Amino acid sequence: MNSRHLIAMASLATTALATAPIAVAYQVDDTVMRGGIAKAEVTDDSGSLDILGELKAFDPRSMSSGARYLFSNRPGIELNGIAAFGKAAGSVDRLPLNLMIHVYPMGDSGSLTQPYVGSGLDYTHISEEELEGLDVDEPYGPAGQDVLDMAVTSYPLIGAFARYAITDAEVGASGAAPGEADIDPMIIGDGATFRF
């Protein structure tokens, strides 16, 4: 098969995918798994606590994951999180986990795109404090999320999300008065979603 035939076949396949009536309708008992890449921005505000200038909660690009279950065609529950790691003295490793209730306004519509919103609780596991004597409590706080999924076929989807949490951690260190660190991450990510 020559290159012109290959190009023609590729063009036809692309056109077919672009014009195919692909749609997704969420249903009762759907289980959905998601994985991808996320990037977080945090406030790093250590308040009155002076630890090498400020507490650092570094967030390079990280792996994100999530699992959700639908009670009906529209509401569902999701557990999600990302791996976020510290890099320097006065920094910490964070593993934020979120338990959320979601609402799918177009859940059973058979649409190409499926937006949904969620709110719930953020719990951040803190470990690997890089400064001797540094102690950071593991905070809880409210969290919200906006997501847009787009169908590739009826089961695999691609999507993007934005998530925000309000987390204030109590921080202490040897020789320093205790204080509070406002981490408050804004997380942006994308990835693939699979329905079962």
- What is the DSSP secondary-structure string of 98-142? EEEEEE-TTTTS-BSEEEEEEEEEEEEEEE--SSTT-EE---EEE
Global pTM value: 0.69
Helix/strand/coil for 19: helix
**CA-based torsion, 189, 192, 195, 196: positive or negative:** negative
Q: Report which of 64, 62, 60 is spatially closest to residue 34, judged by C-alpha positions.
A: 64
Mean pLDDT check: name the lowest of 52-66, 72-86, 118-132, 148-162: 52-66
Residue ranges of domains in the chain, CATH in brackets:
25-195 (2.40.160.20)
Q: What is the mean pLDDT of residues 101-113?
A: 80
